[in-house]
Amino acid sequence: MKGFGKYVIFLGSLFVRRETFKTYYQLVLEECIIIGIGSILLFVLVSTFMGAVSTIQTAANLVNPLIPRYIISQVVREMTILELAPTVMAIIYAGKVGSSMAGGLGTMRITEQIDALEVMGINSSSYLVLPKIIASILMYPLLVIVAGVCSLVGGYLVGTLTGIMTAEDYIYGIRLAFNPYFISFALIKSLVFAFLISSISSYKGYYTQGGALEVGIASTSAVTTSVIAVLLSDYFLAQLLL
């Protein structure tokens, strides 16, 4: 509970003694490039294979000849939109971006770069962390959309190229009984996950004490705590919004 209280105070400190809008604009832009461009290849790769594997596994489990083949792509669609794109990718996001945030801030802390900012009269948490959180909230939903599309494309490619189903069946299944609310649900989840991962990772990095070993521990702890927070919030959001 003490840690949670410190985390809440840390979040509060992001909004006091802020710098100018221009400063944040540049910092957010830089962070967006680091987070967005830096992660897109991994997201495309992982989500394409996830979609492909989901198609094969769903097909392998649908052995009843009475079940039409287009059900496969419908299942892949629902899995992708509801869980794979927002939640599973969040775990990958925590591993890549979260650990990088914690490591970067941790290194800045132990090499006194954060102290240097404070001595200059700059609110270091607001200057360093707020742009990361804003950039994360802006970029992660976009990455989730990219991941969702790639997953469905991956499923399509594997489904049609291996002969599991025809292209027409796949497209038909994807469009069948489509509930647009699930897209909104996925995007709401992605916003929450982006906030949790970036804020928790920044918190862990910002309060690192010690040396290189502790920076490593902070990075690991950032990923672990972020993943737990993502899974818990995933459950509560599902209960709340579905």
Partner 1 sequence: MIKINRISKAFNGKPVLDNISGEFDKGKTNLIIGSSGTGKSVLLKCIVGLLQPDQGSVYFDLRNFTEADKDMKSEIRREMGMLFQGSALFDSKNVEQNVMFPLDVLTTKTLEEKLDRVNFCLKRVGLENVNSKMPSEISGGMKKRVGIARAIVNNPNYLFCDEPNSGLDPQTSIVIDELIKEITEEYDITTVVVTHDMNSVMGIGEKIMFLYKGHKLWEGSYHEIMNSGVKELDDFVFTNKVMKNLKGKVTSL
Shortest spacing between CB 42 and partner 1, in angstroms:
21
Q: For partner 1, give the closer residue by CB, 115 or 168.
A: 115
Q: For partner 1, give the closer residue by CB, 14 or 165.
A: 14
Q: For partner 1, give the closer residue by CB, 112 or 168.
A: 112
DSSP 175-241: HTT--THHHHHHHHHHHHHHHHHHHHHHHHHHT--SSHHHHHHHHHHHHHHHHHHHHHHHHHHHHHH
DSSP 13-46: HTTSS---HHHHHHHHHHHHIIIIIHHHHHHHHH
Would you tell me which residues interact with partner 1 (CB under 8 A)? 16-17, 19, 23, 107-108, 111-113, 115-116, 118-123, 127
Q: For partner 1, give the closer residue by CB, 23 or 166.
A: 23
Shortest spacing between CB 113 and partner 1, in angstroms:
5
Shortest spacing between CB 37 and partner 1, in angstroms:
16
Q: For partner 1, give the closer residue by CB, 52 or 108.
A: 108
Shortest spacing between CB 3 and partner 1, in angstroms:
18
Shortest spacing between CB 130 and partner 1, in angstroms:
14
Evaluate whether 51 touches 149 at the Cβ level (below 8 Å).
no
Q: What sign has the CA pseudo-torsion 183, 185, 188, 192?
A: negative
Evaluate whether 102 touches 218 at the Cβ level (below 8 Å).
yes
